[in-house]
Structures are given as structure tokens and as C-alpha cells.
Amino acid sequence: MKEFSTRAISGALYISLLILSIYWQYVLVVLFLVFGLICMAEFKKLIQLESKAPYVVFVVMYLGFSTWCLTNPIDTGFNEAIKILQVVTVFVQLFLIKDLFSEKTIPLFSTKRYILTTFYLTTSFIFLILIANFNNTFTPMLLLGSFILVWVNDTGAYLVGKNFGKQKLFPSVSPKKTVEGFLGGLFFACIVSYFIANFTETLDFTHWLALSIVVTVFGTLGDLIESKFKRQAGVKDSGVIMPGHGGLLDRLDSIIFAAPFIYLFLRLFPYVS
């Protein structure tokens, strides 16, 4: 009971901090800067990287793109830079998905460690800011809706998996995750997308429904990929900053991995709708 209370309190504080910050652009930028540095510290431990360089790269890239986004979003150079960043980030993440389906450990040679800290972690926080400022307009409800889909998917997957789960999803990486849990999380995320569409008045229901599938699929992959990193490192959690939950990376792994794909969907849907 005590563990449940601790978990509930720390989770509520995290969600409250995010919701209270999400309506102010510069506060949100600062919050994700702090979140990003904490996640970077936790991730560096997982991949056994002692260099301080990833912190510098994170601060320079994150603040550079965030400032560019907030001050001159219609600049042609900005749009071209984002497209290049998107291609490289998605390419790196597709390789991580490939590694997930391999029974071998994820190879972590020196160069790959720096590639991961840059294009797995740093750029994902940049895309979180871009989602909140999509189409040159500050639209925080787009980002909040994406977070809600992640939270609902996680909760639905846990409840369905715990009560009805039988078929293991990725037993070699995360023994507790089940196919039934994944489908349950997807089902609840799809249901909630209807209410998000009506409450946020950002995208229509069709697009939020499609986005719920994107978030569920790539969010689950992000969770599994981080679990594989933890298994390789021989640890249960990425950190201890959130009592009852583990590290901040444990809470953000899904949205971090899904963020570039969410932004890609937002960029593409006017052409496929």
C-alpha cells in the first residue's frame, strides 16, 4: 500500500508539473531542457558513456532549435533544417527497432553512443517542442493530447495485461508485456482519442484516431527499446528520481521515441487526408 501511495504521489507531481507548464512556451522550453538533461544523465549511465560532450550537444541543439522555432518559424532555412533532422532521427530510430528484433545485444561502440545521445534523445526533445508549436502556431493541446494518449495506453496495457494477458509480446526484453496488454492499450487510446478531439479542438477525430495508433505503436517500441538498454546494463530502472517509478527516462521513454513520428504524421496528414 505504501509503495502504491508513493508511486501515485510522484506520478501526480510529474503530471501536474507538465500540465501546469504546457501553456507557456518559454516555461515549457525550460521544463524540457531540465527533463532532457536528467534523461541524458540516466541514459549515459545505461550505455556507459562518461563523456560530458552529450550535455553540451543537447543544450546547444535543443536551445538553438527551440529559439529558432519561437522567433523565426517561417524561415525557409528552419523548415529545411527540421526536414534533415527528421530524416536522420527516424533513420536512427528505425535501426533501434531493428536491434530490438534481434536476439543479440545492441552494439554500443563509441561512435554509436554519441549518435544515440544525439539522434535518439536530444532530437526527440526538440520534436516535443515542435509538436507544441506545430504549423507556426503555439498549440499546446496537441502536445498534451499526445501525452494523454501515452498515459492512457500505458494504463490500459497494464490493466488488460495484468488481468487477461497470456501471450508474451517480447519476453526476452520485457517479460511482463503481453499481446493482450498491447491491444488493450491501443483500444483505450483509440476510445480516448474521440474525447481529445472534442476537448482540444485541434485535429478532427479521424486524425486523433490515427494519431492514437501512431502513439501506441511507437510508444510501445520506445518502452521496449529502453527496456533492452536496461537489460543490457543489468538494472531495473534508469534512475531513482521518481520514487515508485524509477528514473525520468522510464516515464518519458514512450513519448521520447514517438515524438519524431508524431511530428512526421502532423506534417504528412494534410497530404493524405
CA 66 to chain centre: 17
DSSP 10-47: HHHHHHHHHHHHTTSHHHHHHHHHHHHHHHHHHHHHHT
pLDDT tops 60 at residue 168: yes
Q: What is the pLDDT of residues 138-164, one digit of tens each?
A: 999 999 999 999 999 999 999 999 999
Phi, psi of 93 (to 5 degrees): -70, -30
SS3 125: helix
Q: What is the pLDDT of residue 246?
A: 81
pLDDT tier, 201 (very low <50, low <70, confident <90, very high otherwise): confident
Q: What is the pLDDT of residue 230?
A: 94
Q: What is the pLDDT of residue 5?
A: 67
pLDDT tier, 271 (very low <50, low <70, confident <90, very high otherwise): low
Q: What is the pLDDT of residues 211-245, one digit of tens each?
A: 999 999 999 999 999 999 999 999 988 887 877 67
Q: What is the pLDDT of residue 244?
A: 66
Cα gap 114→47, rounded to integer Å:
10
Q: What is the pLDDT of residues 70-102, one digit of tens each?
A: 887 677 788 899 999 999 999 999 999 999 988
Q: What is the pLDDT of residue 273?
A: 46
Cα gap 100→118, rounded to integer Å:
19
Q: Where are the domains of the chain?
A: 2-272
